[in-house]
Structure 1
Amino acid sequence: MTATVTVIPPAPAATGGPAHRDGNVLRWLGAYTASMVGDNIYYLALSWAAVQAGTPSQAGAVMAVSAVPRALLMLGGGVVADRFGPRKVVIGSDAVRCAAVLAVAAVLFAASPGLWLLALLAVVFGTVDAVFMPAVGALPARVTSRDQLARVQGMRGLAIRFAGVVGAPLGGLGVALGGSAAAFGLAGMLIAVSVPLLISVRMRELPPDDDAPDKAGQTAWRDLRDGLRYIRGHRVLAPLIAAIALGDLGFVGPLNVGLTLLADRRGWGASGMGWVVAAFGTGAGVAALLLTLRGRLPRAGSLAAVAILGGSVAIGALAFVPSVAAAVGIALAIGLLAGLSGALCGALLQTQADPAYLGRVSAVSGIVSLGLAPLSMPLTAAAIGWWGTGPVFVTSAVVCGLGGVLALCVGSLRRAELPQ
């Protein structure tokens, strides 16, 4: 996928100030935030339209179909991001996603085509996401200097929280005012906002040595093998991605489907579960804000490991609290610890990886988080039905905690630091 991009002089290696005061970084952040809000509106519009056009099971299939091309093609998407540059790929991806969503909005305004159009849109979105997500992961290293990457990771976390808070209400408002077509139109327009902002962002040049692996005439398959070999042989990245995988596998199930079932069994109701979810989001937002303002936390590898371990203990404890108030307090701690460990792990990925490999590194990490971890959700639901919430939450906590144990046991990861 290609896009015509205006050539802009590269940003300097260092901005001389914190990233949250750098106009170049703020333009990138604005583009990313607009795109993420558009994504949240898109998913709400897609689910609403699918429910209106078919049965609940058919709607579930439409919502799940985008995960298949994303999981199958994401490794190739990492190669594309490293070969063509993350900004070109993100701009091209956003342009295609915007065009697809607006086209569906136009069709829905004029007719009622049924589920086939929604399923086609989901496949297109998932396919484009396979190249979009690795490129998004590789972009911060081209926007700012290495000493600001941790701060940028915190800013990215704040953008994700903001998109989650405002995206659903905006999508609901669009549906209320003009149905699914209006919501799709709003999503497409917000995604479109990101394109001119990204075009205005200045990119840093890679050092000559970093460009060396992508030799002229080298096949994409060779690029992929080189990337996997690079990750496997890296003393920090390999155990870091394994720790992220264990943490996500133990975290996603309990904090998604498991929390719903726990609230139902405790009689907390939808409002009680809403308070618990809000507390988690607040804690994660505080962690992202801390990293945004501080920019660097010492002993990042050890701190991430301790945060994973602390979060795993809190996940296990969540199944045994008797009241909503106690659950809110524990969820706040989970959000803070999970947000801190996630931001630190993301910052370490950014700073430890050679920028020329960042697309492929982000792709491997994305497959773990977006491909493997969601598989735990139906397993969690089934296991809770068999054994109850307590044993399942504790087992998930143990799996999550193994990520922290691994990070502490591997000396190179435990001693990893963020650049000053």
Structure 2
Amino acid sequence: MTATTTAPAPVRPAHRDPNVLRWVGAYTASTLGDSVFYLALSWTAVSTGTPAQAGLVMAVSAVPRALLMLGGGVIADRLGPRRVVIGSDTARSLLVLGLAAALLVAAPGLWALAAAALVFGVVDALFLPAVGALPPRIAAPDQLARLQGLRGLAYRCGAVLGGPLGGLAVALGGPATAFGAAGVLFALSVPLLCTLRLRALPADEGARAGTALGDLADGLRHLRRHRVLGPLIVIVLLSDLGFAGPLNVGLALLAEQRGWGAAGIGWILAGFGTGAGAASLLLAVRGHVPRAGAVSGWTMTLGAVAIGALAFTASLPAAVAVGLAIGLFAGLSGALCNALIQTHCEPAYLGRVTAVAGLCSLGLAPLSFPLTGAAIGLWGIGPVYVVSASVCALSGAYGLLVPAVRRAELTRQG
């Protein structure tokens, strides 16, 4: 009797996997909801109080997000990321729909808007680590780069379409309609998330110390000792610190100095978004990137050169082209870093490691905003952009100089 063996079924590419596409749909709806919510919040705050008070309301949500994100990573690892994401989007939907209902019957003061923003930031601290820990559970290891590309496209879609959608909702029915639209978008993600099929990941019995603080300390120790993950977090921190100031505060000052105005800022950001979208599309279609660690280091170095060049462009079309290059190179490097983190992280630590990476990007990098503005006031745009570009270049060079990162690969399908 002849024995027969059945070849394993080929892994379906992420962009053709209904399970992955459901997750992308849920993430897109959630990202759109974020954009609409913050537009409605800023409009309502400006209409209710002074510009300074409106700025304070907008900043309130960032504080709990930064302070609690590491704890959110512990919760994601303990409860499972899908459960946390479903609970977070449900809570955000109820919160924002409740705020919309309140606006229909009364005129809540700034304190009510600030309270809503505070709660929203607390929920975000749970949502962000969990949503970052989900990709390895819904796609095969060799599809993580492609999934990061799809995630990047979904994020760009939310960022580009969210503002006009929120503005249209405000124009048609006021802030209550805009908050209602955001709440519905958050709610749309929940049934999609509930239907996700999760892959079984290897268990790591030594990953949990028993208490929440013990789990957090254990995760930080794991990160510090890992020869790939530790350096990758340093790369993420350096690149975001060098990138955030010039592309936010610095860009407004550059446009004012060159006489490009607000329209110029919009065109440069559109160029950046186009480049970042192209990088995401490339990953989504290409999938596997050979020598991903080295490619990430070189593309970040090229992105750093483009950041420095932006300060010395004299014409708006040239600045738009440079912005496109920044988006392309920095976007590709960032997506590869995220895919490498998810590839090399032990499953039981995904939430905590994602939380640390998110804290670097969303908690620490914005601290460079006031420093960038003050430094430009003292030394001018050119020197500050060169220093910021040097920090980004340092992150790329560090990745190329650390052998474990330079040789790091995304898992290839067998």
Indicate whether the TM-score tops 0.5.
yes
In structure 1, the partner of 2:275 is: 283
CA distance in 1, matches of 2:96, 2:9: 38
Contact 2:11–2:140 (CA<8 Å) still a contact in 1? no
Q: Structure 1 residues 14 and 187, CA, compared in 2 at 3 Å: closer, same or farther?
A: farther
Contact 1:25–1:143 (CA<8 Å) still a contact in 2? yes
**Aligned-pair CA distance for 1:310:** 0.7
Contact 1:15–1:22 (CA<8 Å) still a contact in 2? no
**Aligned partner letter, 2:91:** V
1:21-40 alignment runs, 5 A limit: 21-40=16-35
In structure 2, the partner of 1:20 is: 15
Q: What do residues 130-181 of structure 1 show as CA deviations (whole Å, max 9, x unaligned)?
A: 1110000101111111111111011000000000110000000011011111
**Aligned partner letter, 2:244:** V
Q: What do residues 201-223 of structure 1 show as CA deviations (whole Å, max 9, x unaligned)?
A: 11112223x355237xx111111
Secondary structure in structure 2 of the residue aligned to 1:296: coil
CA distance in 2, matches of 1:386, 1:187: 41
**Aligned-pair CA distance for 1:15:** 6.4
Contact 2:166–2:178 (CA<8 Å) still a contact in 1? yes
In structure 2, the partner of 1:121 is: 116
CA distance in 2, matches of 1:295, 1:192: 30
2:356 is the counterpart of 1:364: yes
CA distance in 1, matches of 2:179, 2:122: 18
CA distance in 1, matches of 2:269, 2:101: 35
Gaps (5+ residues) in structure 1?
1-12
2:240 is the counterpart of 1:244: no
Contact 1:77–1:130 (CA<8 Å) still a contact in 2? yes
In structure 2, the partner of 1:257 is: 249
TM-score, length basis structure 1? 0.95
Q: Structure 1 residues 238 and 385, CA, compared in 2 at 3 Å: closer, same or farther?
A: same
**Aligned-pair CA distance for 1:272:** 2.0
In structure 2, the partner of 1:399 is: 391
CA distance in 2, matches of 1:226, 1:291: 33
Q: Structure 1 residues 25 and 211, CA, compared in 2 at 3 Å: closer, same or farther?
A: farther
Q: Structure 1 residues 296 and 65, CA, compared in 2 at 3 Å: closer, same or farther?
A: same
CA distance in 2, matches of 1:338, 1:413: 17
Please, which of 161, 170, 192 is the counterpart of residue 166 of structure 1?
A: 161
In structure 1, the partner of 2:320 is: 328
**Aligned-pair CA distance for 1:14:** 7.8
CA distance in 2, matches of 1:33, 1:213: 32
In structure 2, the partner of 1:411 is: 403
CA distance in 2, matches of 1:173, 1:294: 36
Please, which of 141, 146, 151 is the counterpart of residue 146 of structure 1?
A: 141
**Aligned-pair CA distance for 1:408:** 1.1
Moved over 6 A (4+): none
Secondary structure in structure 2 of the residue aligned to 1:206: coil
Contact 2:25–2:189 (CA<8 Å) still a contact in 1? yes
**Aligned partner letter, 2:95:** A
Secondary structure in structure 2 of the residue aligned to 1:321: coil
1:17-416 alignment runs, 5 A limit: 17-208=12-203, 210-214=204-208, 218-416=210-408
**Aligned partner letter, 2:36:** I
CA distance in 1, matches of 2:374, 2:167: 31
**Aligned partner letter, 2:76:** A
Secondary structure in structure 2 of the residue aligned to 1:112: coil
Contact 1:102–1:184 (CA<8 Å) still a contact in 2? yes
Q: Structure 1 residues 184 and 221, CA, compared in 2 at 3 Å: closer, same or farther?
A: same
In structure 1, the partner of 2:3 is: none
**Aligned-pair CA distance for 1:273:** 1.9
Secondary structure in structure 2 of the residue aligned to 1:16: coil
Contact 2:280–2:331 (CA<8 Å) still a contact in 1? yes
Secondary structure in structure 2 of the residue aligned to 1:344: helix
Contact 2:207–2:219 (CA<8 Å) still a contact in 1? no
Contact 2:208–2:214 (CA<8 Å) still a contact in 1? no
CA distance in 2, matches of 1:292, 1:14: 21
**Aligned-pair CA distance for 1:93:** 0.4
CA distance in 1, matches of 2:351, 2:188: 23
Secondary structure in structure 2 of the residue aligned to 1:161: helix
TM-score, length basis structure 2? 0.96
Contact 1:14–1:144 (CA<8 Å) still a contact in 2? no
Q: What do residues 38-69 of structure 1 show as CA deviations (whole Å, max 9, x unaligned)?
A: 00000100111110111101100110111111
CA distance in 2, matches of 1:272, 1:330: 13
Q: What do residues 234-291 of structure 1 show as CA deviations (whole Å, max 9, x unaligned)?
A: 0000001001100000000101111111011001122222111101000000000000
Contact 2:300–2:393 (CA<8 Å) still a contact in 1? yes
**Aligned-pair CA distance for 1:381:** 1.3
**Aligned partner letter, 1:241:** I
Paired positions, count: 405
